[in-house]
Amino acid sequence: MHGNMSYMENHFDKRLDPRLLVDGAKSVVSLALNYFPERTQIDDTYKLSKYAYGEDYHFIIKYKLKELMKFIASEIGEVGGRVFVDSAPVLDRAWAKKSGLGWIGKNANLINKEVGSFFFLAELIIDLELEPDGPVKDYCGTCTACIDECPTDAIPEPYVVDGSKCISYLTIELKNEIIPKEFQGKMEDWMFGCDICQDVCPWNRFSTPHNEPLLNPKPNLLGLNKKDWEDLTEEVFRDLFKKSAVKRTKFDGLKRNIGFLNK
């Protein structure tokens, strides 16, 4: 159910065994970074997933992880290993679940009882023997809000997401010139990513604003209306999304998405 994301078929052995990624690996340290914003976009506009409001999280977190590795080395001596931020065949959620950072919810996101699910995941895979934390229980209960509210029916059953129907996939990963007609009128103005299954999750009532300045949006981003987005030029796109994850879809991709929503 991964659509055109063929890279997900690769390196299956490494996904299952981190020792194939990092020689001598003995522990996976899972970490989370909150990205829940203090303010969101205006109503009645084309929407960006909240994680993409500020600078690209890959670079922000990788810097933090390298600093953490330096700190560990200064405290206990040299430690061998690597840092990972969503850029290698590492099963982020599976390791985070094992580490007790949260449980995997019915929307397939990792959910934490104290802070919800608006956070990034990252790992240190190191050659240090650590006593592991245990997993926590599943607190989804009988709730089906994420399943009920997904406009493209991308969650066919609890804990299973059909990536090929997910709005995030359609607006970011799908590189075709056109989005399939079956999704016409179902994407609820999302032009890059989608937060619906998180927005409706009751556990996200505990989300609190992050304190990372680099994740804050450019001053004018949140106030742009639909016409502003429809009139977006490549020059403004480059300025608005400099160092942003939105560059992944490129200017033409974002315009494609806006055009599809505007039909």
- Residues identified as active-site: 86
3-state SS, residue 72 = helix
Number of other CB atoms surrounding residue 39 within 10 Å: 11
Question: What sign does the dihedral 175-177-181-187 (CA atoms) show?
Answer: positive
Identity at 194, one-letter amino acid code: C
User: Does residue 42 sit in helix, strand or coil?
Assistant: coil
The contacts of residue 84 (CB under 8 Å, 6+ apart) are 90, 92, 122, 123, 124, 125
Which tokens is 101 given? 């950072």
Q: Are 115 and 205 in contact (CB under 8 A)?
A: no
CA nearest to 121, candidates 30, 21, 58, 213: 30
Beta strand residue intervals within the chain, DSSP E: 27-34, 47-48, 81-84, 103-104, 110-111, 119-126, 190-192
- Secondary structure E strands in 159-209: 190-192
